[in-house]
Amino acid sequence: MPVLRRKKILGALFAAVLALSISWSGLAESWEEDLFGGGEDELFGGSSLFTVIDESESATSLQDELLIQDEVRFGGSFSLSLGSAWMWPNWEQFRKHPGEPMMDFLTTNLQAGLYMDARPDRSFRVFGKALLNYSGNDATATLSDTVKITELFADFNHRERLFFRVGKQNISWGVGYFMSPADIINLTPIDPTDPEAEREGRLALRLNAPVGINNLYLYVLADNAAHLRDIAWAPKVEVVVKGFEFGLGGYLKSQQDPLLMATVSGAVGDFSLFGEGAYKFSDMDSWQATAGFLYGYGDKADLFNFNLAAQYLYNGDADLVSSKWPGRHHLAAALLLPDVLHTDLSVSALLLSNLSDDTGMITTSLSWQPIERISTAVGLSYNYGSLGGQYTQLGTPVTVFLRFTLGNGKF
């Protein structure tokens, strides 16, 4: 497709959003917990991935978020973990010589998150968040390696019709859980082994103009921009129809191929469903699509509960070798059984699989919280398949791990 035509396509989408972004209000979204946090944090954070939107709801969620606070709020989280792991080169060696691992190692990790939230009046808010991650195994780590400012932004509005967010902010366009091809403007992709991990925000200006319960967005992205031409533009439209939310967005930057994305998310019964896709306007076909669900079950006695997540991704890239997801077909799934029979024992399992080269990784773990804010977990991870595949570049190792978490909590 000629470059001029590509720019016209995204330019038309950009112009439509910009022309309408002069009124109304916005929705704010965030979702953060740990996938296998153990102890207090459960799979999916104890809530569903999506909020089902009722068309009768007020369109002033961001307006409500900007309510006045008499004091600046501070809070955060803390966790210290100590872990040991033993590795065997393959399953056969693990089975025959369980007491003779190929290698073993010890890790210590101190993590903390701190946030500040100031709302001096109804139309102004300042929010900042920093993550501290100190490893006892890295004596060369500098302050910049240990501390990262993930968010630092201000919210304000014009007559409660046009809402602004300016600064370093989390931007997540995709709705996928393990993999998200539609998340085309984030700095870092989702880590499928820890899909709910905090990710660093982007330096951007966000304009939000709600239309009833629907939303128009425009992002002006200035990360690493040395010249005006280096600024990227990303318009997005979100429409709610019968409890399902549909999104359409684009990304345009000088000397880069334009990108187009689409998403859909909603709920059917106890299932949270999601799907998304992305397309790059380039000389070679480049597109991906994915769909999946989350499901939670709990009995009346609260003795046997479980959470399940599963996602399939199709990679339509013409160049599969250098693709983010090598191979055509990918599958990811996770299962958690928390606090089985009120024993403080939790069981979890994770599967990541490249269905095209028949390689993958399986991780299972058993965690126990004997007393509040102290938990332990033991588990096994196994990479399977033919050598040279996506998950077998370093062979088919078997790893047994033991982890202790101390002082885990939020304040």
In the three-class reduction of DSSP (H, G, I as helix; E, B as strand; rest coil), residue 145 is classed as helix
Read off the pLDDT band of 59 (50, 70, 90): very low
Q: Decide if pLDDT at 169 tops 50.
A: yes
> Among 43-52, 105-114, 129-138, 305-314, whose mean pLDDT is lowest?
43-52
Q: Residue 187: its pLDDT value, please?
A: 82
> Among 41-55, 117-131, 250-264, whose mean pLDDT is lowest?
41-55
Q: Decide if pLDDT at 353 tops 80.
A: yes
Between residues 125 and 324, the one the model is more confident about: 125
Residues 6+ apart with CB under 8 A from 210: 24, 25, 26, 27, 59, 62, 163, 216
> Among 41-50, 250-259, 340-349, whose mean pLDDT is lowest?
41-50
> Residue 214: enclosing H or E segment and its boundaries?
strand 214-221
Percent of the chain with pLDDT over 70: 83
In the three-class reduction of DSSP (H, G, I as helix; E, B as strand; rest coil), residue 3 is classed as helix
What does 361-396 look like in DSSP terms, one character per residue? EEEEEEEEEEETTEEEEEEEEEEESSTTSTT-TT--
Quote the CA–CA distance of 402 and 201 in Å, as a whole number.
32
Of the candidates 381, 358, 372, the residue with the CA atom closest to the CA atom of residue 407 = 372
Read off the pLDDT band of 211 (50, 70, 90): very high
| CB of 170 closer than 8 Å to CB of 115 | no
Q: Residue 188: its pLDDT value, please?
A: 86
Q: For residue 371, give the CATH number of its domain.
A: 2.40.160.10
Question: Tokens 């809070």 appear where?
Answer: 75
> Residue 172: enclosing H or E segment and its boundaries?
none
What does 47-103 look like in DSSP terms, one character per residue? S-SSPPPPTTS-S-HHHHHT---SS-EEEEEEEEEEEEEEEESSHHHHHH-TT--SE
Q: Residue 47: its pLDDT value, please?
A: 37
Torsion of CA 56, 62, 64, 69, to 10 degrees: 170
Read off the pLDDT band of 49 (50, 70, 90): very low
Between residues 206 and 199, the one the model is more confident about: 206
Between residues 279 and 33, the one the model is more confident about: 279
The structural domain count of the chain equals 1
Q: Residue 30: its pLDDT value, please?
A: 32
Read off the pLDDT band of 15 (50, 70, 90): very low
Q: Residue 40: its pLDDT value, please?
A: 35
Q: Residue 282: its pLDDT value, please?
A: 86
Burial, 250: exposed, middle or buried (Cβ in 10 Å; 0-12, 13-18, 19+)? buried
Quote the CA–CA distance of 6 and 30 in Å, as a whole number.
32
Task: Give the tens place of pLDDT for each residue, 228-238.
Answer: 999 999 999 99
Query: How many other C-beta atoms are found inside a 10 Å radius of the C-beta of residue 200?
Result: 14
Q: Decide if pLDDT at 198 tops 60.
A: yes
In the three-class reduction of DSSP (H, G, I as helix; E, B as strand; rest coil), residue 18 is classed as helix
Read off the pLDDT band of 67 (50, 70, 90): low
Range of the domain at 284: 3-410
For residues 358-362, give the mean pLDDT: 97
Q: Residue 26: its pLDDT value, please?
A: 32
For residues 44-64, give the mean pLDDT: 43
Q: Residue 21: its pLDDT value, please?
A: 37
Read off the pLDDT band of 22 (50, 70, 90): very low
Quote the CA–CA distance of 233 and 15 in Å, as a whole number.
11
Question: Tokens 């939670």 appear where?
Answer: 296
| CB of 267 closer than 8 Å to CB of 240 | no
> Among 66-70, 125-129, 153-157, 207-211, whose mean pLDDT is lowest?
66-70
Residues 6+ apart with CB under 8 A from 241: none
Query: Number of H helices and number of E strands within the chain?
Result: 4, 18
Share of the chain residues as helix, strand and coil, in percent rounded to the nearest 5: 10, 50, 40
Q: What is the mean pLDDT of the chain?
A: 85
